[in-house]
């Protein structure tokens, strides 16, 4: 009488398990990390003012990034076959490869992810990273029950143009998503006048924005006349940038905008 296979271990709530694939040599620091808050192109914006865009910086820090392990150059001739895409560089089992055809570049990830029951994994390109002539393909994986790994794929957008992927650059982002948020959330469209309190907050925000814009325009005009160069402060709603709102007691409440996902813990 044959013995039954053991059931997979359940994943506790609040945990994301990344099992290393058999035979994969995985150095945690070189393959996965929490998403980083900064971006090279954002650093080049004058005064780095773009970091004051709260939604943008929040997205930068949501989830974990999987890193490309090797320098490689990829060229696609426009054809649909696997051989129509060429990968130049030192071959690596976890580096970019041609698998699906049609100008798609594939990474075989070193991890098999497991999430708690009724929770899947959002798989996207790295948030707000630039990459010439290539776009990441997003996916949603039912990692609460699937017993096999998935790949990360990018699609080249230009023919016969070399596309470079550097060692250490993020090529994938993952974060868990409860299924109930998708299955049970009801989207309703309403007139904003139905919520007078929220409408009042909108009016206050609009007034402050006009005041800030007027102050910024005045600062620029004075600068053009030979005054001090404006810092850009006047163009921003400080409460928005600092993510604060008045509480019931009249004091300002600090809200979370930048996330700090936990560093991976190596339990092998």
Domains of the chain: residue spans and CATH: 17-183 (2.70.40.10), 192-254 (no CATH)
Q: From CA 257, how far away is CA 245, in angstroms rounded?
A: 13
> pTM here?
0.84
Helix %, strand %, coil % of the chain (to 5): 25, 25, 50
Identify which of 6, 16, 23, 56 has the alpha carbon closest to the alpha carbon of residue 178.
16
pLDDT in tens, the chain (268 residues): 557 888 889 999 999 999 998 888 888 988 999 999 999 999 998 878 888 888 898 999 999 999 999 999 999 999 999 999 999 988 888 999 999 999 999 999 999 999 999 999 999 999 999 999 999 999 999 999 999 999 999 999 999 999 999 999 999 999 999 999 989 999 999 999 999 999 998 898 888 778 777 877 777 777 777 766 655 554 455 556 666 666 666 666 676 778 889 999 999 8
């Amino acid at each position: 009488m044959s013995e039954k296979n053991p059931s997979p271990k359940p994943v506790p709530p609040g945990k994301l398990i990344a099992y290393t694939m058999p035979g994969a040599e995985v150095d945690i620091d070189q393959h996965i990390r929490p998403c980083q808050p900064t971006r090279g192109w954002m650093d080049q914006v004058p005064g780095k003012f773009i970091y004051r865009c709260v939604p943008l910086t929040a997205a930068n820090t949501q989830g974990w990034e999987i890193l490309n392990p090797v320098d490689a150059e990829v060229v696609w001739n426009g054809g649909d076959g696997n051989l129509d895409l060429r990968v130049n560089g030192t071959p690596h089992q976890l580096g970019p490869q041609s698998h699906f055809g049609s100008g798609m570049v594939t990474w075989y990830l070193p991890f098999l992810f497991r999430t708690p029951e009724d929770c899947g994994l959002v798989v996207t390109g790295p948030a707000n990273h630039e990459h010439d002539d290539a776009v990441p393909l997003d996916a949603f994986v039912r990692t609460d029950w699937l017993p096999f790994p998935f790949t990360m794929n990018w699609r080249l957008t230009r023919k016969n143009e070399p596309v470079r992927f550097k060692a250490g650059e993020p090529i994938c982002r993952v974060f868990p998503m409860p299924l109930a948020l998708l299955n049970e959330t009801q989207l309703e469209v309403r007139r904003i006048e139905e919520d007078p309190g929220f409408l009042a907050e909108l009016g206050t925000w609009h007034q402050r924005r006009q005041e800030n814009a007027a102050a910024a325009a005045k600062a620029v005009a004075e600068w053009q006349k030979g005054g001090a160069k404006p810092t850009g402060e006047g163009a921003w709603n400080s409460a928005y940038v600092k993510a604060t709102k008045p509480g019931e007691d009249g004091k300002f409440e600090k809200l979370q905008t930048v996330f700090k996902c936990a560093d991976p813990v190596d339990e092998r």
